[in-house]
Amino acid sequence: MVDSRWTPADIPDLKGRTALITGAGGGIGYRTAQVLAEHGARVLLAGRRPDSLADAARRLRADVPGARLETVELDLGDLAAIREAAAPLAAGETLDLLINNAGVMNVPERRLTRDGLELTVGTNHLGHFALTAHLMPALERSAAARVVTVSAVAAAWRSGDLADLMSEHGYRPMSAYAKSKRANVVFTQELARRLARSAHRAVVVHPGSALTDLQRHTSTSRMGRLLVALASRTLMGSPSGAAWPSLYAATHPEVVGGAYLGPAGRDQTSGTPKPARLPAGADDPDLGAWLWRESERLAGVTFPAPRT
């Protein structure tokens, strides 16, 4: 059930709750962090670049006086770095909200992560898969944790078929992106099934077509920059509106595990979130189980069994 009148102003008091947001240095991640901090949450800003995180923390403290903020250096393309970043939290912290928001897009040529994984899927899906696995002890300490993973409308593209997950038999930049975003959805559906007997929930969202740092950094050509600038004026919404699905998924009491939410506006750039149509087959338990096994193998992690 979706409350059609909801806005971020309806978010309840989040004092005593801790949220970690990847990609929090700018765009949707920054706006998500800002709103959660405004409502009293302790917010952990996670990202790859310490200078960007420090700048984001400075801006947030100016925007939200008294905000409780910490930064977590996290490279989602490095499995050892993910494990190292998560270890202090897993050892004794309680994590109530994990928002898997960061991502890369339109990498021109097939590149590999430090661990030999195709970069786009390795970052957008496998990096977040590994992070979630390592943070499960901290999430389990919460009375009712939520894992919110940010996918994209590209998850529904035909080119996002997961059969050649690492693009070893042919690489196309946006096909790799579509695979990573479909994997976000399939992973969430499987995680929701595994958490079904617990108080924890896994939810997936898409932000619509927002102009964020992700799009701004995907093209270095003059023509590419021109097209992005034109799109920003005609087609794309702002990160503020695009953060609404993540905020709704993270805080609304009636959101159920496995929900897929996106902006309600006709242009899919703004508005109260509503249920979105799952990509065909994304909720297939067999596909979910296969992707889970492959992801554990590729990322070198094993999810602990959830406590009921």
User: Residue 169: which residues within 8 A CB-CB, separation 6 or more?
Assistant: none
Q: Examine the residue annotation and report whether 177 is marked as an active-site residue of this protein.
A: yes
Radius of gyration of the chain (CA): 18
Question: How is the beta sheet containing 260-263 ordered, strand by strand?
Answer: 68-73, 42-47, 18-22, 97-100, 146-150, 201-205, 260-263, 273-275
Q: How far apart are CA 189 and CA 70, in angstroms?
A: 30
Collapse the DSSP code of 292 into the 3-class scheme (helix H, G, I; strand E, B; otherwise coil) and give the result: helix
Is there a contact between 190 and 292 (Cβ–Cβ < 8 Å)? yes
- Cβ-in-10-Å burial (0-12, 13-18, 19+) of 18 comes to buried
- 136 to each of 139, 266, 305, how far by Cα in Å? 5, 37, 9
**Catalytically annotated residue among 30, 171, 177, 248:** 177
- 189 to each of 93, 156, 221, how far by Cα in Å? 26, 15, 37
Q: How far apart are CA 279 and CA 260, in angstroms?
A: 10
Catalytic amino acids? 177
